[in-house]
Structure 1
Amino acid sequence: MLPEETFRSSDLPPADRFECWRALMSETHAPMELQSEHAADFWVNQRNISLGEITVYPLECDSLTFRRTPKLISKSDPEAFHLSLVKRGSGVVTSGRATIMHRAFEYHSSDTSRPFEINSIRGSFEVIGIEVPKNLLPMPPHTAGQVIGRRISARDGMGALLATFLTQVTRDSRSYQPADGPRLGAVLADLVASLFAGVLDADRSLTPETHRRALTLRIMDFIRRNADDPQLDVSAIAAAHHISVSYLHRLFQREGGGTTAAGFVQQQRLSRARRDLADPLFREVPVHVIAARRQQGVP
């Protein structure tokens, strides 16, 4: 499994919960002032998952205020960008003169080098947080910094792809090997950079390698979502992404992890066939019928 640390407030006496969690958040993100009307009996569940030098953490807790002040920045700055996928709840982020409300299925971002304040609203909330050192993001920090504080949707495009990646990694963290962590971290850094570049419409700031990785990940996500389409083949995949078949093959040769585009389609269909075979609803359906349906891309 991936290196992971779990914090559950229920494991501690009520009087110790808030302060112990504050100390954890100061290590995970950066030193912050935290305030909550629930501090006397704080409820929080958090898992810190290490992907090399990048940390991902599913977090749910009572409402509170996060505050990163100039004084704290002068004392300690890990030089990182933070991004949170909001899964439940809402909050108001104030950075400089800008104040933005973030709701579920949006991202909010911050920079450890800039003061900010985050106030969660109405009860508990749930997020998946990401801490990315600035020197690991494959785009210039001053360019990435222009995205900080903007509202970013997680419902479509690169935002949805990043959300899918975060959800899968945090849900299935035990299925990966420790050596997978840095590789997953590199993919995550590419996805964050591509998301930022899309917000800024500044793709020229990305490296060619990041372009290829991000495009390959988008294609893989497209294949997963459309594997049941009997018309899905390499020509259709290439056309949907406005690239040539030959370039599609080259992408998978470099970034496909040892599989081809056609092979990846086959893998998705076989995976669906295995799922059908395990489904009681298909108990009376002959194996060769299930295999034929999936081979043809029939849902």
Structure 2
Amino acid sequence: MKQLIRGRQLFLLLLIILFTGPRCGKSKKEVTPVPALSSVSPLKGIVGDPVTVNGQNIGNADKITFNSTASTIVGNTGTSITTVVPSGATVGMNKIAVYTSGGKSNELQFEVIKEPDNVDPLPPTLSKIIPAANFTEYPVLIYGDNLSGAISVTFNDKDAVVYTNNKKVITVTVPKDLPAGTATVKVKTVKGTSTINFQVSGPPPAGPASVNFSIITIPPPNYVPGISNNWSCGLFSLQDGNNFVDLNTDDGTFNYDVTGSYEYHFDKNKDYNDLNYIEFTNKTTGETFAGQFSSPTANPCVLKMVLISSKTGTISTCTFDRRSNEPDLQCDQ
């Protein structure tokens, strides 16, 4: 009898443990952590450009937005999301955020750039930079083709300030704080990118250049950049097409010491100076001067070229007063 009672007691004890003890078979409900963003690359772009957002707890992202505009998630590795700048994104600074079941992430800034009005049909190509080496915060000319509407110009991924931009030439300033050495210059347009090497001379010994290509005023449609004149930097005479020589060095055998070429064109349909550059070289000194025509009026009295030296990297202005050939010329000062 005692054994029966003891057996029942053990049975009741087992039941109590079974129903009131720890439930090892069930785990607590997991809490999804809030996503945390660390970086975005690139920092700016036009609609349709690819963008990569890096961070933690983003593997189960439901949505990514630029301000309030949702974008398409193209790929997700768990620590990085690939997306594109969405159509309808606000031009200017945007805040990128990622949403998961854990909530909304912190926000990262991204600049949406307005698509350029003038775009060439082919990807850009780069041929040379004048000068080939220069100090930081000094200006340079980047030569090539299909450069219209450049979205960005970078030196080792540091943004450069763009002053003028047409189909064959871009004028920029070498970004501040670049170390001396070889830098990769990248030009990006709507159609693609192109790169070229440039030699950075280091910080400017006497501070930033006092003058850069910001002084250029894009010439109007009826601007006439006559080159067969006695300019302040040479007695230039056209030879064939857009090629010219400096008659001050003419020895009578057509073996000129200073030769050059230029192209200038205004596209009336686009209201755009798609060509505007000039370049001439002194074969004796090896110095090249390159630049652009500039005029603040439609009918200037004084024609102007803004030039950079391949040796010093400094800007100078070369002028010709049309009234020296036509004293009675009616023109704008």
Normalised-by-shorter TM-score class: under 0.3
| CA radius of gyration, larger in | 2
Which has a greater percent of strand?
2
TM-score (structure 1 length as normaliser): 0.25
Q: Choose between structure 1 and 2 for higher RCO, CA contacts under 8 A separated by at least 6 residues.
A: 1
TM-score (structure 2 length as normaliser): 0.23
Which has a greater percent of helix?
1
